[in-house]
Amino acid sequence: MLEEDFLGATLPLFEEGAVDVLEWSFDVGWGRELPAWAQGLLQHFAVSGRLLGHGVSFSPLSARWEEPQRNWLHRAALEVAKLKYRHVSEHFGFMAAGSFTRGSPMPMPADAAVIRTGRDALSRLAEVTGLPVGLENLALALSSRDVDGQGDHLDALLEPVGGFVVLDLHNLWCQAVNFGRDPVGLLGRYPLSRGITLVLLKIDARVLLVSQSVSRSGASMQTLCEIDEPDQVASILLKASRNERSSIADRFQSLLSSSDRAMEKELESAGRQVFRTSSGDTVELASISTPVPLARINAGDAAARRERNEGAPNRLSQPIQPPVQGRPDRREGNPAPVRGYSVAGASRPLTGAEQLRRRLDAWRDQEERAS
C-alpha cells in the first residue's frame, strides 16, 4: 500500500468517493516513515469510523510464546491508541522466521494443542486492543484435510473471543483449484456469520444498515451505510413488509399443518370410520374416550339455529348413527361421539361447528325418514 504504484492506481477511486472502507496492514508500516499521503488517508478513514486493522506477522499459531509476539502486542496497543480502528484481524497460521524468509503463513493441523495455542494468542490480542478480533482464511494448504477442515478450525479458534472470519475469496479460490474442490461447497464450510448480525433500521425518512457484533470486550453496533434516497427507502420498506407478511403466513400454515397431522394420527389410532353420500359429502367418525369440544359458531348463526330448532332436543348431545341401507341397526349402547370430519368437494375449507351441524342434521333426517 505504501508504494507509489498503489497510489497511482487507487487515487482516482479515493477522489470519486468509491472506497467505503480501508483495511490497513499496520505492522507493515512499523519501523518506517509513512509518506504524507498515506498518513492523511489513514487519518481520514479512521476519523470517519471506516478503518480496519490487519496484521500479518503476529503468528498466532506459533508453538511458543516468545519475545517477538510480546513486542508485536505492545506495538499493536500503541497502534490502536493512535488510530481509531473498528476491529483487528490476523492470518490463520504461523510466521516466525522474520524478514529472512517472509512470505505466506504456514498452516497448522486442527490439533487440540494448536487450538489452545491459537485461542490464547487471540485472547491476548483482544485484551490488548479492546476491539473485536478475527482471522483471515489461508491460501496455502499442505493436504486436502487442511482444505476441508479450515472452516471448522477457524470456528474453534474464534469461539472463546466471539471473533469473526475475514473471508479472502482469492485464498478460497486457490484452495478450491489446487485441491479440486467446488468453491461454493468449500465456502459453505466457513462460519461466515460468526459474531456479526446485520440489522436494518428505519429512522424518519432514512434506512440504516447496522452491524451488531458481540465479542469478549462487549457488544457494539456500527453503521455500515445510510440510505436516504426516497425511491430506495420505499423499495426496501416494501420488500421488508412483504417478507414479514409472508413469514407470518408461513408460520400460520405450518401451525395448521402440524394440527392436521396430529388430528390424523389421533383419528387413525381411534379406529376412524368414513361415510360418504352420493353427492360427495363425507363424515368421519372415531371412537375416543374424551370428546373434543366443537368450535364456536358466530352469534348470528347460533341465534338463527336456536330459532329454527326451538323446542327440539339438542341433536349434537344425542348419539348419532351412520346411515345404512334399509332400517338402521338399533343395537344397545351409544355410538362414539363425532371426533373429526371433512367435506369433500366443498367450495371453501371446513369452518368448524357450522359445517358439522349441517352434515349431522342431514344424517339425522335421513335416519328418521328411514325409520
| Rounded Cα–Cα distance for residues 75 and 30 (Å) | 8
pLDDT exceeds 90 at position 4: no
pLDDT exceeds 80 at position 322: no
Q: How confident is the model at residue 73 (pLDDT cuts 50, 70, 90)?
A: very high
| Rounded Cα–Cα distance for residues 91 and 104 (Å) | 9
What pLDDT is attached to residue 334?
45
Q: How confident is the model at residue 173 (pLDDT cuts 50, 70, 90)?
A: very high
Same domain? 289 vs 165 = no
* 158-172 per-position pLDDT tens digit: 999 988 889 899 999
**CATH number, position 109:** 3.20.20.150
The pLDDT of 247-274, averaged and rounded, is: 66
Q: What are phi and psi of 76, to 5 degrees?
A: -65, -40
Same domain? 216 vs 108 = no
* 181-233 per-position pLDDT tens digit: 998 889 888 887 766 677 788 888 888 888 776 655 566 677 878 888 888 88
What percent of the chain is predicted at pLDDT more than 90? 25
How many domains would you assign to the chain? 3
Query: 253 in a domain, yes or no?
Result: no
| Rounded Cα–Cα distance for residues 204 and 228 (Å) | 10
Query: 104 in a domain, yes or no?
Result: yes
Same domain? 53 vs 137 = yes
Whole-prediction pTM value? 0.54
Query: 67 in a domain, yes or no?
Result: yes
The pLDDT of 266-278, averaged and rounded, is: 68
328: helix, strand or coil? coil
Query: 288 in a domain, yes or no?
Result: yes
Which residues, at least 6 apart from 225, have a Cβ–Cβ distance to it below 8 Å? 20, 208, 209
Same domain? 188 vs 231 = no
pLDDT exceeds 90 at position 122: yes
Lowest mean pLDDT among 39-43, 81-85, 96-100, 352-356: 352-356
User: Higher pLDDT residue, 267 or 308?
Assistant: 267
pLDDT exceeds 50 at position 63: yes
Cell of 13: 477511486
The pLDDT of 146-158, averaged and rounded, is: 92
What pLDDT is attached to residue 243?
61
Same domain? 188 vs 270 = no
Same domain? 119 vs 216 = no
Burial 307-343 (b: 16+ CB within 10 A, else e): eeeeeeeeeeeeebbeeeeeeeeeeeeeebbbbbbeb
Query: 244 in a domain, yes or no?
Result: no
**Between β-strands 22-25 and 51-54, what pairing exists: parallel, antiparallel or unpaired?**
parallel
Same domain? 181 vs 212 = no
Contact (Cβ atoms closer than 8 angstroms) between residue 205 and residue 230: yes
| Rounded Cα–Cα distance for residues 39 and 34 (Å) | 6
324: helix, strand or coil? coil
Name the domain boundary from 171, 192, 213: 192
Which residues, at least 6 apart from 175, have a Cβ–Cβ distance to it below 8 Å? 139, 141, 147, 150, 181, 186
Same domain? 187 vs 206 = no
Identify any residues that bridge with 53 across adjacent strands, giving them in sequence order: 24, 88
Name the domain boundary from 192, 216, 247: 192
**Domain limits at 293?**
263-370
Same domain? 187 vs 285 = no
Query: 255 in a domain, yes or no?
Result: no
Query: 324 in a domain, yes or no?
Result: yes
Contact (Cβ atoms closer than 8 angstroms) between residue 284 and residue 272: yes
Contact (Cβ atoms closer than 8 angstroms) between residue 157 and residue 126: no
| Rounded Cα–Cα distance for residues 293 and 112 (Å) | 59
**Residue 123, CA atoms < 13 Å, CB-side half-sphere:** 9
> Across the chain, which distance is largest between two alpha carbons, in Å?
109
Same domain? 172 vs 92 = yes
Query: 249 in a domain, yes or no?
Result: no
Name the domain boundary from 171, 204, 238: 238
Same domain? 213 vs 161 = no
Same domain? 182 vs 231 = no
Rg (the chain; Cα; Å): 35
